[in-house]
Copies of this chain bind each other. A is one copy, B any other.
Amino acid sequence: MRRGIARETKLRAMGEKRAYFDHAATTPLDLRVLEAMMPYLAGAGWGNPSSIYAEGREAAKGLDLARRRVAELLNCRPAEVIFTAGGSESDNLAIRGAAHGNRRRGDHIVTTAIEHHAVLHAVERLEQEGFRATYLPVDGEGFVDPGSLERSLTGDTTLVSVMYVNNEVGTIQPIAETAALVKQRARRIVFHTDAVQAADYLDLDVERLGVDMLSIAAHKLYGPKGVGALYVRQRTPLQAQLLGGSQERSRRAGTENVAGAVGLATALELAVRERVTRAAHVRELRDFLLGAIPADLARRLPSNLSLCFEGVEGEPILVNLDLAGMSASSGSACTTGSLEPSHVLTAMGIDEDTARGSLRLALGKDNTMEDCQRLVAALPEIVERVRRLQPSYRLAAERSAASSAGR
Contact = CB atoms under 8 A, between A and B. Distances in A.
Contacts of A118: 243-245, 253-254
Contacts of A219: 255
Residue among A91, A224, A226, A241 facing the most chain B CB atoms (10 A cut-off) = A226
Interface residues on A, range: 35 or more
A85 B257 contact: yes
A52 B247 contact: no
A116 B243 CA distance: 10
A246 B18 contact: no
Interface stretch (A143-151, A266-274, A327-335, A385-393): A327-335
Contacts of A276: none
11 contacts: A50-B334, A53-B321, A85-B226, A86-B255, A89-B242, A118-B245, A121-B243, A219-B255, A246-B334, A246-B338, A255-B333
Contacts of A332: 245
Which 10 A-B pairs rank lowest in CB-CB distance, beginning with the nearest? A226-B257, A245-B334, A118-B244, A85-B85, A88-B254, A121-B243, A53-B327, A26-B48, A53-B322, A88-B244
A334 to B, nearest CB: 3
Interface string A16-31: 0010101001101101
A243 B119 CA distance: 8
A77 interface: no
A302 interface: no
Contact of A26 (B255, B321, B337): B255
Interface stretch (A39-47, A105-113, A198-206, A369-377): A39-47
Contacts of A159: none
B41 A247 contact: no
B55 A327 contact: yes
A337 B50 CA distance: 8
A122 B244 CA distance: 7
A336 B159 CA distance: 34
Given A334-B244, A337-B246, A41 B29 contact: yes
A312 interface: no
Contact of A29 (B31, B46, B217, B315): B46
A61 B133 CA distance: 39
